Amino acid sequence: RVQSTGSKSKMSDAIDRCVDMEADIDAVVDKLVNVKKEVLKTIERLDSAVEYNILHMRYIQGKDLQEIADHYGREYGWVTTTHGRALKNVQALLDENL
């Protein structure tokens, strides 16, 4: 005699776990999309187009600072300095909203 109820139960449990994990992943993706929208709204308020572009390339496009330096044909140090200034300006914008 072969008992198949055990394997059906295991399969059902595995499918249930997969469905739950998929729902969790969807929720995380939705949260990340919302955070990305908020980041965009904030950096769009910057006065400097260069600062906006650097933050956009870094945090929206996912480029590292060396890639950004190469894009601008500038030294890495210039990008790190400008990036730092841009972040300070973003912090000032956020502080205004408090």
Q: How confident is the model at residue 11, as a pLDDT?
A: 82
CA distance 93 to 31: 22
The predicted-structure confidence for 17-58, as pLDDT tens digits, reads as follows 999 999 999 999 999 999 999 999 999 999 999 999 999 999
Q: Provide the pLDDT for residue 6.
A: 52
- What is the separation, in whole angstroms, between the first and last Cα of the chain? 71
Question: For the CA atoms of the chain, what is the radius of gyration?
Answer: 23
What's the whole-model pTM score?
0.76
- Kindly indicate the confidence band of residue 5, based on its pLDDT and cuts at 50, 70 and 90: low
Q: For residue 4, is pLDDT > 60?
A: no
Name the percent of the chain lying above pLDDT 70. Answer: 92
Alpha carbons within 13 angstroms on the beta-carbon side of residue 61 total: 13
